[in-house]
A and B are shown apart, each in its own frame.
Chain A
Amino acid sequence: MNDLIFLVVSSMLFSIGLVGAVIHRSAVRVMISLEIMFNGVLLALLTLSKYFNPLGGSILALYAIALSSVEVGLLISVFILLYRRSKSLDVYEIVGLGE
Chain B
Amino acid sequence: MSLPEFSLVYVLAAGTVAVIAAILSVKAREDFYSAILLGIVGLAIASLIALLGFPYVGIFQALVYVGATVMFVIMGVVFIGRGMVSEKKMALPGVLVAVLVFFSVLQILVSPLAQQVTTVNTALSLEGLLKVFSENLLAFFYLSLALLALLLAGISIARGETNE
Footprint of B on A, CB under 8 Å? 1-20, 22-29, 31-33, 35-36, 39, 42-44, 46-48, 50-55, 57-59, 61-63, 65-74, 76-81, 83-84, 88-90
Contacts and interface: CB of A to CB of B under 8 A. Distances in A.
A48 B87 contact: no
Interface of B: 1-3, 7-8, 11-12, 15, 18-19, 22-23, 25-26, 31, 34-35, 38, 41-42, 45, 48-49, 52-54, 56-57, 60-61, 64-65, 68-69, 72-73, 75-77, 79-80, 83-88, 90, 93-95, 97-103, 105-106, 109-110, 112-113, 116, 118-124, 128, 132, 143, 147, 150-151, 153-155, 157-158, 160
Given A43-B48, A69-B64, A80 B109 contact: no
A52 B115 CA distance: 11
Given A14-B101, A28-B31, A61-B54, A20 B48 contact: no
Question: Which of A15, A46, A79: most chain B CB closer than 10 A?
Answer: A15
A51 B118 CA distance: 7
A54 B101 contact: no
Given A29-B31, A59-B132, A80 B119 contact: no
A80 B158 CA distance: 6
A53 B124 CA distance: 10
A64 B60 CA distance: 11
Nearest to B65: A65
Contacts of A61: 49, 54, 57, 60-61
Contacts of A55: 122-124, 128, 132
Given A11-B105, A43-B49, A76-B76, A51 B157 contact: no
B54 A46 contact: yes
Contact of A70 (B23, B84, B147): B147
Nearest to B52: A46
Given A13-B22, A24-B87, A52-B116, A35 B69 contact: yes
24 contacts: A7-B106, A7-B109, A11-B102, A12-B22, A13-B18, A23-B88, A23-B93, A24-B26, A25-B88, A39-B22, A46-B49, A46-B52, A50-B52, A55-B124, A65-B64, A67-B147, A68-B69, A69-B65, A70-B150, A72-B73, A73-B72, A74-B150, A74-B151, A88-B84
